[in-house]
Each structure stands twice: as structure tokens, then as C-alpha cells.
Chain A
């Protein structure tokens, strides 16, 4: 099992949902209105007057086999316009109940 954390511009919400559904990923937790800024190119998403945009994030724990197709699809989405902003991070799930 792997945990995938997807942090994306709110504007991607529907597409991210669609990707998760298309891979039949049922379980996830999500946080709306997440602040953040990119290390290299990413614009800050602060929800302030200066940086008005905001991110959302999804944390989903999935089968190992699903990780690659998910990241592929997400990367394709990001490539449409990387300015909008989408990142995904994968880490191991040691244990779960």
C-alpha cells in the first residue's frame, strides 16, 4: 500500500476527482483551501489579496499497482498547463488498521 498525496490548484478539483474515479480509487481524504507555495516555479497559493488562488489536497492510500497509472494521469493533467499547479507525492504506508 502506498499513500499518495496530491496537492493541486482548486481549479483542478473536478479533473482530479475524475482521475481518481477512473482508476476506481474509492477511498481518500481531502482538504480544501490549502495554502502553500512551490519550491522552484510554483506561485504562492495564499488566498490573500496578493496571491488570491488556493490549493486543495487529497491523500489516498492505494494499491502499489495503481500508483504508476495515477501518477501518469496526474502528470498528463499537469502538462496541459503547468502554471495551474499540481504535485503528487508518494510514500509508504507502514501499517494501517
Chain B
């Protein structure tokens, strides 16, 4: 028994099967995580190696180069980049998308094991670090405090961070710019010399005094006591009373030679929130956790935890990636709802019957819900891509049901019982329905095979559309006939239809449309060649417009947040940097009322937190993070504000470079939208010169902003040049001298001060006034093994020196990257301009200049898209050729595809949209939809010819009868996309191009298809059918 017959005969079973599917779908929906984009595991592995005391150049030759050479052999490696800076080498390995990173990590580890023995002795074992999008913080809070500021670190750690860490899904919670408590012991070098003491002696005395020591057990009578020596300091002030030495028989107390300060650590990084002292707290989620849920839980818990904090501590949200996601998802869900409503309206308009509309519309939720089951099983999330896929599918899933229902209605109207009509009418069309579905699948399935970054986005779309379309076909041949058998009945045509009835108002209009179409079709069929030439001319001239359409990688979106990275002259001390920060804060507050909250950090956290891996830090660096008002609440877009800010920043002479960036989300998705110019070459001076030339010329290029050069200016250093001979004379060596210097300047930590379970460093060093000039440095006393005091100037010179702070490599060669961001222009155009600039520059032979960055990704993605389109076309051709058992018919149908692209180009041109991957994707989708229309038309023309009509009559009859179904499917898809194209809210910029392309392409190609396909049919299929009859006649002529 056939599937549709069983479905009609067993309505309860059918209903239950679909109920089961819907229930499972809803279960999956509830459990699906919500995210902005599909989870991306960027194929990056970093190898970090520390080699204390080595300069950037040493690191480059001894560590980076060797590791790079060895790692180059790892499988599936795409590119190696590295940065060698003082003490640290970071190598980033980029693998091909889709490579198994676990395997790659093992390979990398093997390589490191092999080479480790050949590296310098003091090198720490390299650490392998796998980057993941989930490591990016999901929520940022600004915390300000007045009186409680000094104790804020401990307070937050206990009251906020620990409870938050316990929330399910929270990976870690960290602070930036928290004030650390340190006990400083600052010695006066002259007094030290006078009392014959050294920093090291003081250090060992403090370490020796500040300790608790278990000293064994003592048995007394019945008891067993454990004996302890309790020497630990209970208060930091007790340090002052420590006896550190003896002079002329009197004890020397610590207070005699040094000052004890129980205080906050010296300023190297200053955090301000809206200009107030404070710090930033950020939360990272665990891999695979639901961003929205974690952020919601964190926010909720924080509200409760706030109550335990002192009243002067205030917590406010700076950035919550989940709000953007929530906004975007909500927006898209609304879009989906509107699409649904439009589709229902279109069906109702054409059919004019409530029950029929209900039956068709029911396939929408069923098919869409099934895609949730797919998402759940495959471990994906609900995101922009999956929801967009659903909006694309929504107009297509009803097509099959419409065809089936139409045939059933025809049977019922002829007088069959609904039950039988349902069975036999479905029997007549089910094969045709499956074949049109196959065509759509032929277009979408290749999407699941695309690799690379593009693939991550398109695979999901391919699967979702394929699954929903297949489900909709299944539903169309089971639940649609089943419900038709139950719900439809023969409706007598009313003698006098009501005044506002469907048959009075809409049918005449539709009939008029039919007549108009037939008239124009007749006109066209009489002038086939002229029409064809016109169409070709239109197609070719549309490519002329192509020049005016820019290309982009991914459209940027207004996420209501901005960040600014400012670099002052290298070597600027943090106190000076802070002055600039204050100025800028005032500017921002006055000029941009849109800013709701602003966090600034000046300088660098010398602890080197994980966060500093992602940003440049240094005492001359200022970072701003700002949250703006909601998109709807402000007049200026984030780009307008950013442009204005760039112009403002350019007026400050102290600012060397400033980068204003407007994207926070979409991390890893080519988050930077830049054209990179890579200058390869070994010689620093040469490459610097070329880079500088390019940079200067770029400044004049229209649309080029945020020009940044990756190689930082040489930074000033003070070098202590030791005289080996003199050192040897005093029995000293470089190691002892450098350690002693370090103890005096940076400080010696030999012991910790304990209070309430927390430990604070006791840092012993010279007082600042004795170590802030070159002559002070030269006055520093070092002690030789014989106890003789020697001034540094006796054995060394202190020299000023300029050194490169870091050396970057790409593909194992030294490189300088100049990154340019497009402003009011497209990426493709900018890349062309940049290329022109590069061509002008006189480049020495040893230097190689290349263009890369997001532009490179864009080129790769377009390449992928092109291949994809080709694959789709071939598959569609295969399906159609076998369906029609002809090579002509697919050709006739595919002739309409170019006009879809003409429509796309027109739509992009008229709306001023750039051609991004998203728009390109829209173009690929069009192939499926356009071809489907063509098939419907050609198939029916064939059928009518088979039934004995003449060519032209058959074409016209088929056109007349298929006009409504084609218009209906086209309208459902167009209106389904309309909300996408018009949406204005958060994240709309991402998918608007898709809506625009599909609508433009579809409107244009539907009109053209309905004329061009019949015309082509008239031209090409003229003899085909007639020949068949003639052939048959010849074969059996002997019978006549």
C-alpha cells in the first residue's frame, strides 16, 4: 500500500507520527543553545615559549626560527605566523578549516619534544595553546568604588568571583586592573651602605623571621604536644621592628634603613570607569555552554550578590554579548513570524478558502520544527544562520502541499468524495512533487560540502533547507491528503457571491492578470528572436553595472559598542599616558552623549594576564571600551560616531596611532574587516622604509582609515654594558650583577605576608628617588663575594639604546603588516586602490609585498562560492536531464538563471548594497528557486503537447494554467524574504543583503522566466516532439 493511501486510511496514525515529530522538535528547541553564529573552532594553535633575558632578536634566531622550521612539517598546516618579543616567542599555526585540532595538537607536541633538546638550556618548555571562540569574554562589568577601592580585589574575589564561578556553564571570571596589595620595603642605599647592609641581607632576614616552623612533638605526662615556633608577622607594621643587623654592638632595625609601606602595587595599569576609579570584571563561558543562558544567570546572580557589597561599590554592565545575540535572534524570530503571516496571506489570496489554507500552512511548522531536531542531534545552536535558513525555507515548504492540494481540490470539485480524491489525486502528482524537491535539494545539498570558513556558515544552511524541504514533501504526500480527506468538502458555487467575497474581489483580478499574461505571451511568441536578443542585451548590460557594485567579506553590524586602542609615543611613562586618558575621557563624555558607559585602561598589567594576549599592552597604550545606547534610541550609527571620533583623535599630537573598532561579536568570523599589506624582507631598515612609504601614500587613499603598522617603533631601552675584565677583577660575573640589579630596581621577594588566609608579597627594593636616573643607576652598590662594596659605575656603563620591541614572521619570513580598514567604500574597491599604491612604491629586490587580510578571506570565499555555484548547476542539470530524458529541456530551463543574476545585480545596484558572501549566498539560492519555476512551466508545456496541442497553443495554455502556481510560489518566497530585507534592528545588517538579493533576483527572474522560458521553448523544442511522431510513423509505415 502506498504511503499516501495509508496516511488517508489511518488518519490517527498519521497524526500521531507527526505529533511525535513535533514533540521531539519542540524538545530539541527547548534544549538548543542560542548563539550569534554557528560554533566555530578557529583552526589555530599557538606555541608560546619563554626564554628569560633574551631580546627579541635572540628569541627570533634561537627559538622562533628553529620551532618554525620544525613545525612546518605538521599535517594540514596552512600558515605559520610568529611574534618574537623580549623574553617571549609566540608562534601561531593556522590549519585548514575542518582539520582535527586534537590530532594537530599531538603532532605539534611531538615536534616540540623532538626539537626541545636542541634549544638553549634555559628555555622553558613551550606551551601549546588552543584558541577557541569560547575563550572570548561574554560579559564585561565595570566596577567602581570609592572608599573600598584599596580592598576591592579581595572583596570581589570572595563576594563575587567565587559565587559566579559556581554557575553552571561559567568557564572563568577574571578582573582587569584590580588593585593588588603589596608590602613594600623601600631602602635608602646610603643608610644601607652606612650600616654595611645589602638588599639581599634584608631579604634573607625577613624570610628568616617571617615563618612558622613545626619543631616536633613533646611528651609530657599523659599528653603528646606538638611544638611549633611561631614567628610569622601578624601585622605588616611589625616588619619595621625587625632587627636586620648589628652595628657597633647596637641592633639595626629595619625602620632605620628602610620605609615599610603596606599599600597598593605601583601603578602600571590604570582602570577608570566613566572617569572613576574602578576595574573591569569579565566572564568567560565553558566551551559548548549557552551564551544567552550563562549571561542571564550571571546577571541574575550578580543582582543578588550586589547586596552583600559595601554601598560605595557599584557594578554596571559595559558589554554583554548576549544582548546583541538576543536582539538579533528576536529580530529574526519576528522576521520569521512576518514571513509566516505573508505566506498565509498569499495562499489565502490565491485559493480563497480557509480550510485549504489551513491544510497547506500546517506543513510550515512541521517542516521547520524538524530542523530543530537536526540542530539538536548535530550539536549546533540556534543562530543567525539557522534562523535565516528557516526564513528561506518558509516560502518553499508550502509549494509541494499546494500542488497536492490543488489536485485534490480539482478532484473534489469534479464530484469525487474527499477521501478518494485525496488518495487518487495524490497518486497522480506525488512523483512530480518529489522530483521538484530533488531539484531544490540539488541546489542546497552541495552547500553542505563547502569547506573553509564559508563552509561553517553554509553547511548548516544546506542541511536545514534540505531537511525542511524533504520533510515538507513527506508532509505534502501524507498529512496533506489525510487532512484534505477529513476537512475538504465539495462546496457548491454560490449563485450570488457576497460583496466582499474572494470570488467577487480577487478572482476577477487574477483572471485579468491571466489574460494580460496570455496576451503578452502571444506577442512574445510572434517575435521570438527579437525578445531573445533583447533579453541577452539586458543580461550583458547588467554586467556593466557590476563595476558600480562593491564587494565585501561579511557585512558589518551595529552592535552598539565601540572600542578604541590608542598608542602614544613608545616608552611614554604610564603617568603621562593617564593624563592623555583623562583628556580623552572628557572629550568622549562631552561630544558623544550616546555613550552610556565607558571603561578606560591606561598602561599595561605587568602580570601578563591571559587577556593581554589578545591586545597590545605597554605603558604607552590606552584602551577604551564603550557601550552605546540601543540602536533605536540614537540618531547616529556606530560608524558615524566612530568616523567622527577618528577625526577628533587625529587632532591630538601625542597620539601616534588610534584604532576605532566597532565590532565585538562575530569573533573569529574575520572579525577584522581589513586589507592587509604584507611587506616581507629580512632587513629591518629596508622593510621599514617600504612600509613607511606605503603608509604615507595610503593616508591619501580615499576610504582608507585606521592604518596600522604591525612593527612597532623601536623602543628606548637602557642597557647596562658590563666590563668583563673589571668584573673579574672584583670576583663578579654577569649573573650575580644582573640579579643584584634586579633586586634593587624591580625588587626582591623572599617572603609573603599572610593575613586572613591570603598572601601578599613583601617586596624589598631601593626607594624610588634612588633609582630614577642614569646617574642613580650608576651609583648602585653591588657586593662581591669578599663583601667588598663596588659601585656599578666601576664595572659598567649605562647606555641608552633603541631596540625593536618585537619581530613578526609570516611563512617563516620577517614581515611588516600594514592593515587598512575601509570607510565608506567596499573592501574590494579598497584592495584595488591599495594595490595601485603598492605598484607605485619602489620596492627593493629583497623585499616582497603582498595583499592579504580579510580581503584574502573574501577572495577565498568567493572562490568557494563560485565552485559551489558550478556544482549546483551541474547537479541541477543532471536531475533535470534525467527527469525530462532530454538535454534540450534543462537547457531551456537553465536559460532563466542568468536573469536571476541580472536581477541580483540590479537589486544590489539600486539599494547600494555591496556584494558580500551573504549576498552571494542569496544568489546561489536563487538558482534553486528559479529553476523550480522553470520546471513547472516546461513540464506542463510538455504535458499539454503530449495531450495533442500544437506547440504555440500548448505554450500558451501551459503558461495560463501555471501562471498562478508560479506567482504563488514566487510571492511566498519574496514576501517571506521581505522582512529580512527591510529589518532595521540589531544585526539586521548581516542578513539584509540576502533578502535584497533574493527578492531582486526573484522579482526580475520570475517576470523574465515567464516570458523567456516559453520563448526558448518555442525556439528549441519546435521539432523535438514532432520528430517523435514522424519517427514512429516511419517505423511502422509497412503496416499502412
Q: Which chain B residues lie closer than 8 Å to A14 at the CB level?
A: 417, 419-420
- Can you list, as one digit per residue, whether each of A30-71 has a CB less than 8 Å from chain B (1) or not (0)? 000000000000000000011111100000000000000000
The answer to whether A15 has its CB under 8 Å from any CB of chain B is yes
Residue of A10, A14, A51, A52 ringed by the most chain B CB atoms within 10 A:
A52
Contact B943–A11 (Cβ < 8 Å): no
- Inter-chain CA distance A12–B416, complex, in Å, is 7
- Can you list, as one digit per residue, whether each of B408-428 has a CB less than 8 Å from chain A (1) or not (0)? 000100111101110010011
- Residues of chain A from 1 to 16 with CB closer than 8 A to chain B in the complex: 9-15
Contact A50–B943 (Cβ < 8 Å): yes
Partner of A53, one of B417, B428, B432, B942: B428
User: When A52-B429, A53-B424, A53-B428 are in contact, do A11 and B946 touch as well, CB less than 8 Å?
Assistant: no
The answer to whether A83 has its CB under 8 Å from any CB of chain B is yes
CB distance from A75 to the nearest CB of B (A): 14
Q: Which chain A residues lie closer than 8 Å to B415 at the CB level?
A: 80-81, 84
Q: Which chain A residues lie closer than 8 Å to B416 at the CB level?
A: 11-12, 84
Q: Which chain B residues lie closer than 8 Å to A50 at the CB level?
A: 942-943, 946-947
Contact A11–B411 (Cβ < 8 Å): yes
- Inter-chain CA distance A53–B407, complex, in Å, is 11
Q: Which chain B residues lie closer than 8 Å to A15 at the CB level?
A: 417
Of the four ranges (under 10, 10 to 19, 20 to 34, 35 or more), the interface on chain B belongs to 10 to 19
- Residues of chain B from 411 to 459 with CB closer than 8 A to chain A in the complex: 411, 414-417, 419-421, 424, 427-429, 431-432
Contact A83–B414 (Cβ < 8 Å): yes
Partner of A81, one of B414, B417, B429, B946: B414
Contact B421–A11 (Cβ < 8 Å): yes
User: Can you list 20 pairs linking A and B with CB atoms under 8 Å apart?
Assistant: A9-B424, A10-B420, A11-B411, A11-B420, A12-B420, A14-B419, A14-B420, A49-B432, A49-B943, A49-B946, A50-B946, A51-B947, A52-B427, A52-B429, A53-B424, A53-B428, A54-B424, A54-B427, A84-B414, A84-B416
- Inter-chain CA distance A51–B429, complex, in Å, is 11
- Inter-chain CA distance A46–B942, complex, in Å, is 16
With CB as the reference atom, state the residue of chain A lying closest to B432.
A49
Q: Which chain B residues lie closer than 8 Å to A83 at the CB level?
A: 414
CB distance from B895 to the nearest CB of A (A): 22
- Inter-chain CA distance A49–B432, complex, in Å, is 8
CB distance from A56 to the nearest CB of B (A): 10
With CB as the reference atom, state the residue of chain B lying closest to A53.
B428
With CB as the reference atom, state the residue of chain B lying closest to A81.
B415
CB distance from B940 to the nearest CB of A (A): 10
- Can you list, as one digit per residue, whether each of B913-956 has a CB less than 8 Å from chain A (1) or not (0)? 00000000000000000000000000000110011000000000
Residue of B416, B421, B432, B943 ringed by the most chain A CB atoms within 10 A:
B416
- Inter-chain CA distance A41–B657, complex, in Å, is 87
With CB as the reference atom, state the residue of chain A lying closest to B412.
A11
Apart from A11-B414, A11-B417, A81-B414: 19 A-B pairs, beta carbons within 8 A: A10-B420, A10-B424, A11-B411, A13-B420, A14-B417, A15-B417, A49-B431, A49-B432, A50-B942, A50-B946, A50-B947, A52-B428, A52-B429, A53-B424, A53-B428, A54-B424, A80-B415, A81-B415, A84-B414
CB distance from B88 to the nearest CB of A (A): 72
With CB as the reference atom, state the residue of chain B lying closest to A11.
B416
With CB as the reference atom, state the residue of chain B lying closest to A83.
B414
With CB as the reference atom, state the residue of chain B lying closest to A48.
B946
- Can you list, as one digit per residue, whether each of A71-97 has a CB less than 8 Å from chain B (1) or not (0)? 000000000110110000000000000
CB distance from B597 to the nearest CB of A (A): 67
CB distance from A58 to the nearest CB of B (A): 15
CB distance from B426 to the nearest CB of A (A): 11
Q: Which chain A residues lie closer than 8 Å to B424 at the CB level?
A: 9-11, 53-54
**What residues of chain B have their CB less than 8 Å away from a CB belonging to chain A?**
411, 414-417, 419-421, 424, 427-429, 431-432, 942-943, 946-947
CB distance from B554 to the nearest CB of A (A): 45
Q: Which chain A residues lie closer than 8 Å to B432 at the CB level?
A: 49
CB distance from A43 to the nearest CB of B (A): 9
Q: Which chain B residues lie closer than 8 Å to A11 at the CB level?
A: 411, 414, 416-417, 420-421, 424
Q: Which chain A residues lie closer than 8 Å to B427 at the CB level?
A: 10, 52, 54
Nearest 9 CB-CB pairs, A to B?
A52-B428, A81-B415, A50-B946, A11-B416, A80-B415, A81-B414, A10-B424, A11-B420, A11-B424
With CB as the reference atom, state the residue of chain A lying closest to B415.
A81
- Inter-chain CA distance A20–B553, complex, in Å, is 72
- Inter-chain CA distance A12–B424, complex, in Å, is 10
- Inter-chain CA distance A36–B428, complex, in Å, is 16
- Inter-chain CA distance A50–B419, complex, in Å, is 24
With CB as the reference atom, state the residue of chain B lying closest to A43.
B947
CB distance from A53 to the nearest CB of B (A): 6
- Inter-chain CA distance A51–B943, complex, in Å, is 8
- Inter-chain CA distance A80–B432, complex, in Å, is 29
With CB as the reference atom, state the residue of chain A lying closest to B411.
A11
- Inter-chain CA distance A12–B417, complex, in Å, is 8
- Inter-chain CA distance A54–B947, complex, in Å, is 16
- Inter-chain CA distance A15–B428, complex, in Å, is 20
- Inter-chain CA distance A15–B431, complex, in Å, is 27
- Inter-chain CA distance A9–B415, complex, in Å, is 12
With CB as the reference atom, state the residue of chain B lying closest to A13.
B420
- Inter-chain CA distance A54–B943, complex, in Å, is 16
Q: Which chain B residues lie closer than 8 Å to A53 at the CB level?
A: 424, 428
CB distance from B1032 to the nearest CB of A (A): 15
CB distance from A4 to the nearest CB of B (A): 21
Q: Which chain A residues lie closer than 8 Å to B431 at the CB level?
A: 49
- Inter-chain CA distance A50–B949, complex, in Å, is 12
Residue of A11, A50, A54, A80 ringed by the most chain B CB atoms within 10 A:
A11
With CB as the reference atom, state the residue of chain A lying closest to B417.
A14
Residue of B417, B419, B424, B942 ringed by the most chain A CB atoms within 10 A:
B424
Q: Which chain A residues lie closer than 8 Å to B414 at the CB level?
A: 11, 81, 83-84
- Inter-chain CA distance A63–B563, complex, in Å, is 97
- Inter-chain CA distance A21–B562, complex, in Å, is 82
- Inter-chain CA distance A50–B411, complex, in Å, is 17
- Inter-chain CA distance A83–B421, complex, in Å, is 14
Q: Which chain B residues lie closer than 8 Å to A13 at the CB level?
A: 420
- Inter-chain CA distance A77–B427, complex, in Å, is 23
Q: Which chain B residues lie closer than 8 Å to A9 at the CB level?
A: 424
CB distance from A62 to the nearest CB of B (A): 24
- Inter-chain CA distance A83–B429, complex, in Å, is 19
Q: Which chain A residues lie closer than 8 Å to B419 at the CB level?
A: 14
CB distance from A22 to the nearest CB of B (A): 16
- Inter-chain CA distance A10–B422, complex, in Å, is 11
Q: Which chain A residues lie closer than 8 Å to B428 at the CB level?
A: 52-53
- Inter-chain CA distance A54–B426, complex, in Å, is 12
- Inter-chain CA distance A51–B948, complex, in Å, is 12
Q: Which chain A residues lie closer than 8 Å to B942 at the CB level?
A: 50
Q: Which chain B residues lie closer than 8 Å to A52 at the CB level?
A: 427-429
Residue of A13, A49, A50, A84 ringed by the most chain B CB atoms within 10 A:
A49
- Inter-chain CA distance A15–B417, complex, in Å, is 9
With CB as the reference atom, state the residue of chain A lying closest to B939.
A49
Q: Which chain A residues lie closer than 8 Å to B411 at the CB level?
A: 11
- Inter-chain CA distance A51–B946, complex, in Å, is 9
CB distance from A78 to the nearest CB of B (A): 10
- Inter-chain CA distance A84–B424, complex, in Å, is 12
CB distance from B803 to the nearest CB of A (A): 80
CB distance from A77 to the nearest CB of B (A): 9
CB distance from A28 to the nearest CB of B (A): 19
- Inter-chain CA distance A81–B416, complex, in Å, is 9
Q: Which chain B residues lie closer than 8 Å to A51 at the CB level?
A: 947
CB distance from B935 to the nearest CB of A (A): 13
CB distance from B262 to the nearest CB of A (A): 92
Q: Which chain B residues lie closer than 8 Å to A81 at the CB level?
A: 414-415
With CB as the reference atom, state the residue of chain A lying closest to B883.
A49
Q: Which chain A residues lie closer than 8 Å to B946 at the CB level?
A: 49-50
Q: Which chain A residues lie closer than 8 Å to B943 at the CB level?
A: 49-50
CB distance from B675 to the nearest CB of A (A): 55
- Inter-chain CA distance A44–B424, complex, in Å, is 15
- Inter-chain CA distance A81–B947, complex, in Å, is 21
Q: Which chain A residues lie closer than 8 Å to B420 at the CB level?
A: 10-14
